[in-house]
A and B are shown apart, each in its own frame.
Chain A
Amino acid sequence: MGKPYTVKQMLVSMASGDTQPSDWTQHSLGIIENTDDKIGAFLQVNGEQALQRAHQLDDQAAHWRASLSTTGATTQGLFGIPYALKDNMCTKGMGTTAASQILANYIPPYSATVAEKLTQANGVMLGKTNLDEFAMGSSTEHSAFQKTHNPYNLNRVPGGSSGGSAAAVAAGMVPFALGSDTGGSIRQPAAFCGVVGLKPTYGRVSRFGLIAFASSLDQIGPLTQTVEDAALVLQYISGPDPLDSTSAPTVTEDFTRLLTGEVKGLRIGIVRDISAVGMDPQVMTAVDKAVAVLAGAGAQVVDVALPHSAYAVASYYLVAPAEASSNLARYDGVRYGRRVEGETLLDMYERTRSEGFGMEVKRRIMIGTYALSSGYYDAYYKRAQQMRTLIRQDFDEAFQKCDVIAMPTTPSPAFAFEEKSANPLQLYLDDIFTVPANLAGLPGINVPCGMSNEGLPMGLQLLGKAFDESTLLQVAHGYEQLRGFTMPSPHGLEG
């Protein structure tokens, strides 16, 4: 298969009048048709509805092109761009499951703010992608409905929890998809699938309508082929939302404005005191090389310290399950979703929740319930939140010395199915590079930085200052331009 088209390419093509929205929707639906039975990225494809919407946009295309020529812009909105949503974002009248049995038949009565915004930007929603149940996991193996395969190697996981979105973008089914990132769930699957994945600053994108996992950590962001596309999409999904008290009162900015390819003078922080058990030296080498590329282009490399990052996983695996245990209490078989009848109310609750939730979700609910329970709150939850403060302070200090921080996204490339399911803790430890950004609320991005010996993508992670996505995107884009290779097409689908 050929190189997938980017959002930008589609917009330019439509702006010139060569193509129109329905061409791209059909193109995307064709790829999904041909490849998704092998990948399993989508839980739901709404081809008919999408085509109908695309045809409506066809009728508005001339008007759109005229508006472009008057403003001199090459892009305006996400006109006619097909996209997918991770199935933990509510879509009014269209099933939203969070990949859980407990919500298998749930039809939301309202749409998430991001879905509304993308509709307003004239995007064309094709369907909903697979995830680890309630976004808990890093392999998408915990979906209650299906496996998603890594397009680079069908025997490998796509990462998670936004594995469906990452695989869909990697396989060229859609030029962009939205994911959510609580502890790395956008960046890690992006690294495994060789695409760009951006977790914006906490509060940058409204969480209204995102089925909550851990409210103080969750953030929605785009998965794309290029950094520029990520910037474009962020443009249209971000901004304050009166329906989300935690959305930041930011002003609109053009996230593409610093995408010049220039990184000269920017300070790249590298962290020597953060390490992972089972770190793959290939990944370390690829990241070092990426930093060297930036240095070669005039970026200044400085050492920074994040002394408390060693405690990040411990803090994260108390805070996230604690919030989750409370966020998932609403799935009780009363108002919506699956109910398993019982003799008594207590029976009904327990049967519903035991049959409705998968094992990983139950495990996290158990940890969280324990961490919040009487007598343990101070020892676990409160200490974890105090540790967050120290981790934030580490970043504050580090960012006195640098503009972005570079490190691996994951300790190793995509692993095989079931390779890591025996020991939950070992899998949690792999989140060492991604969870600090969530605990501190900072923006982070994965940019592919090479292929492993086994032909699997490896990812460079860049972290930025709070609400400074522009500089983060500038460095990520600069690296993308300078890295001197193009990502090979996903070969998992060949032959």
Chain B
Amino acid sequence: MEFETVIGLEVHVELNTNTKIFCSCKTSFGDPPNTHVCPVCTGQPGSLPVLNERAVDMAVKAALALHCQINQDCKFDRKNYFYPDLPKGYQISQFDQPIGEHGYLEIDVHGDRKRIGITRLHLEEDAGKSQHAADGSHTLVDYNRTGVPLIEIVSEPDIRTPEEARLYLEGIREMMHYCDVSDCRMEEGSLRCDANISLRPVGQQEFGLKTELKNINSFRFVQKGLEYEEQRQREILAVGGEVVQETRRFDDVSQTTLTMRSKEEAHDYRYFPEPDLVGLHIDDAWLARVRATLPELPMEKRDRYIRQYQLPAYDAGVLTSDLAIGEYFEAVVAAGADAKSASNWVMGDLLGYLNGRSEGIAATPVAAVELAELIAFIAADRVSIKQGKDVFKVMCETGKDAKTVIREAGMEQISDMSTLLPLVDAVLASNPKSVQDFLGGKEKALGALVGQLMKATQGQANPGVVNQLLRDRLNALKAVE
């Protein structure tokens, strides 16, 4: 029997506000434990939440970017459960009125564009961090992260392969970067992902029994974990078995998924409207204000690059994968460079150099105008492409501009006598007619010989020096005659 895979992702994104969602503590990551805490985020008796306006702005922006309908009237609810890193015994979240609903994200799957539906996007507070002692004796709790604003993005079960899941997750990250609402660093936990996966016989409408995959901590593992899980389920179903509905986690050491300890009870979160907060009304003006801050979105930009710059889809994809890369590329073109050359340089040499140092485009040592200048040197045949690559490396290492590097390396003009003399002799030997003409008094013939030599050095010979050398040699011949 042939099976079809059905995957849905729940993605949590930490918003990069300055302060927490319901109190004025900083959201900084990596500081000593329990140094960004206050009565509100540690759930002291009597403390009350007050909503951070910027967190709402960012959630609305993300929802708009994901083509969600915005619930202009929405509210917060309490999700009740006990956990040591949840100080109030409930998480303030949104239950039946999420900020955004019915959106989608487009991904490119081997050249085909696919739309993955987004069921909902809602705003909530993060929990703290629990650190479990290796010997299992106790757990330590840090509340710095408690109350950091999160958006939860729930996809429709539209994803059909583990690869699509990875592309979707990368797409979400890209979108959040574009909107400048999150760093989306999986290793720091500012982007987190849970996946639901089930298989069903091809053609069957209803979904099969699903497993939930948790603790996915890298983009690669999303795909790997789901591939493993897909295979595991297929093997079970192939022999007529039944998939156990459970929560599993991906173990990166064994590269397999394992059953997580089953919960002692089914969750009953007892949602109800948060009485300590008032309703949210995002009026048209507010919506318009946020909409105005939306950048051109990745897919639109991709299409424009293909159209406007006649770039291959692959190039457009790479260049728009990050807002800053696109901006850089466009600045190189704006400074006069040919689009395809600019694309090649950015995707190849520049990103190669930066990736080698695990840096982003923001760390580029070569400004866009400087790269444009280098491209111009090459276009004018003043340095060869091969030389250009060497020049670029030096530019990266020294921070000098192309002109300086070329001059200092003497690449552009050859003035060195020992290099030029053999060339001069070769030109004289291969152009006896011009030599005779010159010796016969035709001064003009010298120009032809200079031209030949410049051609032989790809224009890099210093014309003044060449002129002098030729004249010296010819005069010497004259004297002999």
CA A490 – CA B75 in complex, angstroms? 49
CA distance A103 to B45 in the complex (A): 9
Q: Report the nearest B residue to A374, measured CB to CB.
A: B268
- Say whether, besides A377-B272, A381-B272, A326 and B80 are in contact (CB < 8 Å): yes
A372 to chain B, nearest CB (A): 4
Partner of B89, one of A208, A330, A336: A330
Say yes or no: is B270 at the interface (Cβ < 8 Å to chain A). Answer: yes
Contact of B46 with A215 in the complex, beta carbons under 8 Å: no
Evaluate contact between B84 and A334: CB separation under 8 angstroms. Answer: yes
- Which of B46, B88, B270, B278 is packed against the most chain A CB atoms within 10 Å? B46
Does A245 lie within 8 Å of B84, measured CB to CB? no
Task: Write out the residue numbers on chain B whose beta carbons fall within 8 Å of the beta carbon of A398.
Answer: none
For the residues of A in contact with B, the DSSP-based class is loop
B48: interface (CB < 8 Å): yes
List CB contacts (< 8 Å) of A318-347 with chain B: 322-323, 325-326, 328-332, 334-336, 345-346
Q: What separation, in Å, do the CA atoms of A331 and B276 have in the docked complex?
A: 18
- A244 and B48 in contact, given A330-B89, A335-B42 (Cβ under 8 angstroms): yes
Q: Are B45 and A326 in contact (CB under 8 A)?
A: no
Which of B50, B80, B139, B276 sits near A215, CB closer than 8 Å? B276
Bound Cα distance A211, B271 (Å)? 21
Query: Does A246 belong to the interface (CB within 8 Å)?
Result: yes
> Which residues from 292 to 336 on chain A have a C-beta closer than 8 Å to any C-beta of chain B?
322-323, 325-326, 328-332, 334-336
Complex CA distance for A208 and B50, rounded to whole angstroms: 11
Bound-complex Cα distance A244 to B276 (A): 8
- Closest Cβ–Cβ distance, residue A249 to chain B (whole Å): 11
* Contact of A329 (CB < 8 Å), options: B39, B49, B88, B141: B88
Q: Which of B45, B78, B82, B88 contacts A108 (CB 8 A)?
A: B45
B264 lies within 8 A of chain A by Cβ: yes
Shortest distance between the CB of A472 and any CB in chain B (Å): 24
Check B276 against A330 for contact (C-beta < 8 Å).
Answer: no
Question: Of A211, A214, A245, A326, which one neighbours B46 at CB under 8 angstroms?
Answer: A211
Task: Say if the beta carbon of B277 comes within 8 Å of chain A.
Answer: yes
- The residue in chain A whose Cβ has the minimal distance to the Cβ of B268 is A374
A210 an interface residue at 8 Å Cβ cutoff? yes
Q: Are A245 and B80 in contact (CB under 8 A)?
A: no
Option from A108, A208, A336, A346 in Cβ contact (under 8 Å) with B48: A208
* B430 in the interface (beta carbon within 8 A): no
A346 with B88: in contact, given A244-B48, A335-B42, A335-B43 (CB under 8 Å)? no
Q: Let me know if A409 is at the binding interface, CB within 8 A.
A: no
Task: Please tell me if the beta carbons of B277 and A245 are within 8 angstroms of each other in the complex.
Answer: yes
Contact A245 B270 (CB under 8 A): no
A336 touches B44 (CB 8 A): yes
**B23 CB to nearest A CB, Å:** 9
Check B414 for interface membership: any CB of A closer than 8 A.
no
Give every chain B residue within 8 A of A323 (Cβ-Cβ): 272, 275
A207 interface residue (CB < 8 Å to B): yes
A263 to chain B, nearest CB (A): 35
A369 within 8 A of B: yes
Contact B276 A245 (CB under 8 A): yes
Interface residues of A in 216-261 (CB under 8 A from B): 216, 242-246
B88 touches A330 (CB 8 A): yes
A281 lies within 8 A of chain B by Cβ: no
Does A209 touch B at the CB level, under 8 Å?
yes
B89 touches A326 (CB 8 A): yes
Asked if A349 CB lies within 8 Å of chain B CBs, one says: yes
Q: Which residues of A contact B84 (CB under 8 A)?
A: 332, 334, 345
The complex places the Cα of A209 from the Cα of B141 at a distance, in Å, of 24
Complex contact A110–B39 (CB within 8 A) = yes
The binding surface of chain B is classed by DSSP as loop
Is B87 at the interface (CB under 8 A from chain A)?
A: yes
Residues of A within 8 A of B39 (CB): 108-110
Q: Nearest-CB distance from A187 to chain B (Å)?
A: 21
CA distance A437 to B274 in the complex (A): 21
Interface residues of A in 105-150 (CB under 8 A from B): 106, 108-110, 112
Within 8 A of A (CB), among B46-89: 46-51, 78, 80, 82, 84, 87-89
Complex: how many Å from CA A328 to CA B278?
21
Contact call B46/A212, Cβ cutoff below 8 A: yes
Q: Mark B231-271, 1 if CB is under 8 A from A, else 0.
A: 00000000000000000000000000000000010001011
Q: Is the CB of B46 within 8 A of A349?
A: no
* Interface residue? A57 (CB, 8 A): no
Q: Which of B46, B82, B275, B277 contacts A332 (CB 8 A)?
A: B82
Query: Residue A7 at the B interface, CB < 8 A?
Result: no
Q: Which chain B positions have C-beta within 8 A of A349? A: 82
User: Which of B44, B87, B88, B268 has the largest number of chain A CB atoms within 10 A?
Assistant: B44
CB distance B82 to A329 under 8 Å? Answer: yes
User: Of residues 329 to 386 in A, which have CB atoms within 8 Å of B's CB atoms?
Assistant: 329-332, 334-336, 345-346, 349, 369, 372-374, 377, 381
Please give the distance in Å from B79's CB to the nearest CB on chain A: 10
Q: Are B276 and A110 within 8 A (Cβ)?
A: no
Looking at the assembled complex, report how far the CB atom of B399 sits from the nearest CB atom of chain A, in whole angstroms.
Answer: 49
- On whether the beta carbons of B46 and A209 are closer than 8 Å, the reply is yes
The answer to the question of B90 belonging to the interface, with a C-beta cut-off of 8 Å to chain A, is yes
- What is the bound-complex CA distance between A207 and B88, given in angstroms? 17
Q: Which residue of B lies closest to A244 (CB)?
A: B48
CB-nearest residue of chain A relative to B90? A326
Is there contact, CB below 8 Å, between A329 and B46? no
B270 touches A372 (CB 8 A): yes
The answer to whether A326 and B44 touch (CB under 8 A), given A245-B278, A372-B80, is no
Whole-angstrom distance between the alpha carbons of A245 and B89 in the complex? 20
Bound: A323/B82 CA distance, A: 16
Which of B1-55 touch A at CB < 8 Å?
39, 42-51
Are A329 and B90 in contact, CB atoms less than 8 angstroms apart?
yes
B272–chain A nearest beta-carbon distance, Å = 6
- Complex partner residue of A246 from B42, B87, B278, CB under 8 angstroms: B278
Is residue A167 within 8 Å, beta carbon to beta carbon, of the partner chain? no
Q: Binary interface profile of A, 79-101, with partner B (CB < 8 Å = 1, else 0)?
A: 00000000011100000101000
**What residue of chain A has the Cβ atom nearest to residue B88's Cβ?**
A330
A336: chain B residues at CB < 8 Å are: 44-45
Report yes or no: A216 in contact with B275, Cβ–Cβ below 8 A: yes
Residues of A within 8 A of B264 (CB): 346
Considering only residues 118-142 of chain B, those with a C-beta below 8 Å from chain A are 139, 141
Pair A89/B46 contact, Cβ less than 8 Å: yes
| B272→A372 contact, CB < 8 A | yes
The residues of A that contact B277 with a CB separation of less than 8 Å are 245-246
A98–B273 CA distance with the chains assembled, in angstroms: 25
Q: Inside 8 A of A334's CB, which chain B residues have their CB?
A: 84, 87, 141
B46 touches A330 (CB 8 A): no
Contact between B89 and A332 (Cβ–Cβ < 8 Å)? yes
Do the beta carbons of A326 and B48 come within 8 Å of each other?
Answer: no
Complex-state Cα separation, A211 to B277, whole angstroms:
16
Query: Which residues of chain B come closer than 8 Å to A215, judged between CB atoms?
Result: 275-276
Nearest 4 CB-CB pairs, A to B?
Answer: A329-B89, A215-B275, A372-B270, A216-B275
14 contacts between A and B (CB under 8 A): A96-B45, A212-B276, A243-B48, A244-B48, A245-B277, A246-B277, A329-B90, A335-B42, A335-B44, A335-B87, A336-B44, A345-B84, A374-B270, A381-B272
Interface residues of B, Cβ cutoff 8 Å to A: 39, 42-51, 78, 80, 82, 84, 87-90, 139, 141, 264, 268, 270-272, 275-278
Given contacts A214-B275, A243-B50, 11 further A-B contacts (CB under 8 A): A88-B46, A89-B46, A96-B45, A215-B276, A246-B275, A326-B89, A329-B82, A332-B84, A335-B87, A372-B271, A374-B270
